[in-house]
Amino acid sequence: MDMTVVIKEKREPGFKITRKKIPNELKSNEVLIKVLATSICGTDVHIYKWDRWSQGRIKPPLTVGHEFCGEVIEVGSEVRKVKVGDVVSAETHIVCGECEFCRRGEYHICKNTQIIGVDTDGCFAEYAKMPADNLIINSKDIDPKYLSIQEPLGNAVHTMLHFDIIGKTVAVVGCGPIGLMGVNVAKAVGASKVIAIEVNDYRINLAKELGADVVINPLKENVIERVLEETNGMGVDVVGEFSGNKTAIEQAFKYVKAGGKMSMLGIVDSNIDIDLSNDIVFKGITIYGVVGRIMFDTWHQVTGLVQSGKLDLEKIVTHTFKLTDIEEGMKVMMSGNSGKVVLIP
């Protein structure tokens, strides 16, 4: 039997809707899933645009997509973790389990990581095949479109909760979909003041709706001065960096408090100029690079937050399209005027 899929067909911009055979020939550790909802990631935008990163990483033809929720319809002979009928999402990093990092439990930095929808066929499809070890069992009481965004929500949770932010002042730099989740997470867990920094008017308004106490537009205000004003001249306790913007990052080193913390998720495309002595060493700050999600501690945190009802998932998911309307979904995502964009097969 065939299914509808979205693929990267050639080494050029764009995606193609086509038909492929349902991947129902399972290895003993694999599971076949009927995809109920799948969401568009910034990574998918990179692949769609066929930028420098994707040209060096993607090997067409490839079924794209890696964020999803679906129902298990078949399991391999040795699978015990999940059963037919379970509603699941997936950790998208497939790790080797054998390298130095895996053997000491640091799976998120496995040197042999393969990513679903990047290195292996993904979930912009009616059905997807996944290793059972990567699956997270979801509550069936939650709308699948919200469950489909847990992977990027995990990035936000990892970024915001690596350092203690309860009762702390927090800056969220860049309010794309994951940054917006970061705002919502920080507010949900009890940050005392959440300062969002964003230039897009749509996302500025959404950041306010998701709990930002203050939103600063760098195009209209001096960010460093405003952050210091909002923190009695001290600076913020914790920075969550989601933008990957050179200027925004350089400014963050100026307004993070002495002894403060910085979690950095955004990917930059140019070198950052830092006053290492004054802004890191003498300030005594701590910098943490965020890679994916801690497997599987972050997922336990995500599951707890989703099931707690404390997150505004209905505001984070701003657009829903049919899978076959992928072009429209990509246009909305690339416009910047959206939160998470979900596709329904």
Residues involved in catalysis: 43, 46
**Is the CB of residue 107 less than 8 Å from the CB of residue 295?**
yes
DSSP string, 118-142: TTB--SSBSEEEEEGGGEEEPPTTS
In this structure, the strands spanning 169-173 and 236-241 are parallel
Find the length of the chain.
345
Residue of 304, 264, 308, 311 lying closest to 285 (CA atoms): 264
Helix axes of 177-189 and 150-161: crossing angle, nearest 10 degrees:
60
**SS3 assignment, position 246:** helix
**Is the CB of residue 22 less than 8 Å from the CB of residue 2?**
yes
Residue 294 CB-half CA count within 13 A: 14
Distance CA 253, CA 285 (A): 9
Residue of 33, 34, 56 lying closest to 46 (CA atoms): 56
Residue 306 CB-half CA count within 13 A: 29
How many angstroms separate the most distant Cα atoms in the chain? 64
Residue of 343, 314, 319, 317 lying closest to 332 (CA atoms): 319
